[in-house]
Structure formats: structure tokens, C-alpha cells
Amino acid sequence: MNDDKIIVCRCEDIDIQTIRNLIDQGVTSLDEMKRITCGPIIAREIAMKTGQSMEEILSTHSRPPFGGVLFQEVLEGIDNEE
């Protein structure tokens, strides 16, 4: 299996090669990277390439929701309240 095609983020459909290319282009903070792509696994790639610790890199915000939620599920939630 081609290592470059590994999907690191299912919700954004980002593969590892995309991340590595961006790091090579100088995007080496998680804040910048996650804005262009996605979050946590990317932190490890940045750490490996730059030698920073995961703690240094992971000082960023997490945004809700934490897992994908269907519009339909939110709608049902509203209907149940009413």
C-alpha cells in the first residue's frame, strides 16, 4: 500500500502526502495547518519533522462538534424538544 495515500482525517478527507507537502512549504504550526486541513494526527507529523514536542504544537482550540453529526439528527433533536 502506498503510504502517501493514508487518510489522516476522514471528515476532511485529507491524506498524509497533503500534510507533508504543506510542512515542506513551511506550514509548521498546527494553527496554520489545521486551518488549511484538519487537526490531531497532523500534530504528530509536524512534531516528527520539526523536532518540537507534541505539547508545544497542541496549544490550540478544539471546535465543536467533536464528531460528525447529521443535519437530520439535529432536526430530530429540535422536534423532540418541541
Partner 1 sequence: MRNKASVVIVGGGITGSATAFSLAKRGVKDIVLIERNELASGATGRCGAGIRQQWGTYQNCLLARESMKVFENFQEVLETDIDIELKQKGYLLLAYSEKEMDQFRSNVEVQHQLGIPSRLVSCLEAKEIVPFLNTQKMFGGAFCPTDGHANPFLTTKAYANAAERLGVEILKKTEVKGITVENRRIKGVHTDRGFIETDKVVNAAGGWAAHIGEMVGLDLPVYSERHEILVTEPVNPIMDPMVMSFSYNIYCQQTPHGSFIMGYGPENEPRGYNINATWQFLEEMVRKATWLLPPLKNLRIVRQWAGLYNISPDRQPIVCESEEVKGFFMGIGFSGHGFMIAPAVGTLLADLVTGSPLTWDVVLDLGRYDRHEIIAEPSVV
Residues forming contacts to partner 1 in the complex (CB under 8 A) are 11-13, 29, 31-32, 35-36, 63-65, 68-72, 74-75, 77-78
- Give the residue with the Cβ less far from partner 1, 1 or 70: 70
| CB 73 to partner 1: min, Å | 9
| CB 51 to partner 1: min, Å | 19
Rounded alpha-carbon distances, angstroms, from residue 61 to 45, 55, 73, 76: 18, 13, 25, 29
- Give the residue with the Cβ less far from partner 1, 51 or 65: 65
- Give the residue with the Cβ less far from partner 1, 51 or 64: 64
Helix (H), strand (E) at residue 7: strand 7-9
Cβ 47 vs Cβ 75: under 8 Å: no
What span, in angstroms and rounded, lies between the C-alpha atoms of 40 and 9? Answer: 9
